[in-house]
Structure 1
Amino acid sequence: MSKTNTTSQFRIVGQLESFVIKKGDKIKYLRLKVEEREYWLKIPKKLRPEIPLTMVPGTWLEIEGNREFKKSKGFFQLEASQIKLLPNPDIPYAVIVSEPESNPVGKILVCQKSSCWKRGGKSVYQRLEQELEQQGLGDRVKVKLTGCLKQCKKGPSLVIMPHKARYGQVKPGQVQELLTKHFNP
């Protein structure tokens, strides 16, 4: 299986949710909300000094950059090349300028450790498998059982990739809504 990555351009207009800061004061990612989705955008070192740390959640931004599909990991990485502050946009949106050649594979990571499993993780896992087949997503989205996701008190827990969306206390009845939100535009 090839591990080559597919790259395309993107443009996103949305509201700042927060910064992801590593090693003290270095902004590694911006979390941006576009309608009901959240995107994590990697900030290259050369852009970091240009970002005012005084920006508050809710600030409207337009971000352009490169979207690279990491086949080995099964998700897209968004890296910003340009960030603009917007006073009042018309509507939030996300645009992929050129589509990748292959259809990306999403993953849903489900905790199978005892705490999550006892709280209904097995039922959620079974419902995920059923719904993926019913919605015709079985070939695009894979469910993977994992070790502890460090959310034991919020079990059952799962993470939806490539969005890196974390969910806790998931009920089998919520599965259809989650799949529609993340994998059906």
Structure 2
Amino acid sequence: MKRTSDLDRVASAAVRRPPGVVLKGQFTEVLRSAKGKLKGIYLRSDTETYAVKLPKYLRPMLVRELVPGTFVQVWAYFDEEKWRGLNLLPLPEDEAIALQETWQLSTPSPTAAVSAVAALLPTDSVSQSPKPLCVKVCRKGSCFKQGGRKIMQSLAAEIAADPTLQHVSVEGVGCLKACKRGPNLKLSNSKKVITGVTPNKALDLVRKHA
């Protein structure tokens, strides 16, 4: 078969491209250009956060399918001081849970980290520091479709815009065992599962407990 110039360019690019790796972690926020255009994602691992530029054909899924807090895997390579992605897929639920558990074992808990810092600060400073709060939103099928996705998006946007909520994080988790009463969430400072949540109710809960 006769090679076309396009095929030659693709083959040439593949030869020049550095070896790739699979990055696994949590999608925390969208990577944007100085003009606000979608360019890729910030991917948090247990040791650092990567800024990964994605090809144009993958960028629409950042709006349609992914929400901050989703665990993903990105096929990427490092070139010209930047991470460049080739493909992106959500991590299977069991693998995402296993990854979270590994992180919890290998890194100090937020409470422990705050306690360590608190020991070095004057009493007045310690008393003013808010405790970390994690909002755990059910990502299982029906709950997520009934409003879990909107809750995560709404909370992530509000937290990013409000300096007083920077100690609050949002995390997608497995089934909270209340599917028929979803959407459901749980706060890290309580064992209670809160059912029938709306974006506004979720924000009210955060402001009350933050």
TM-score (norm 2): 0.38
Higher strand share: 1
Higher helix share: 2
TM-score (norm 1): 0.43
Q: Which has the higher contact order (CA 8 A, sep 6+)?
A: 1
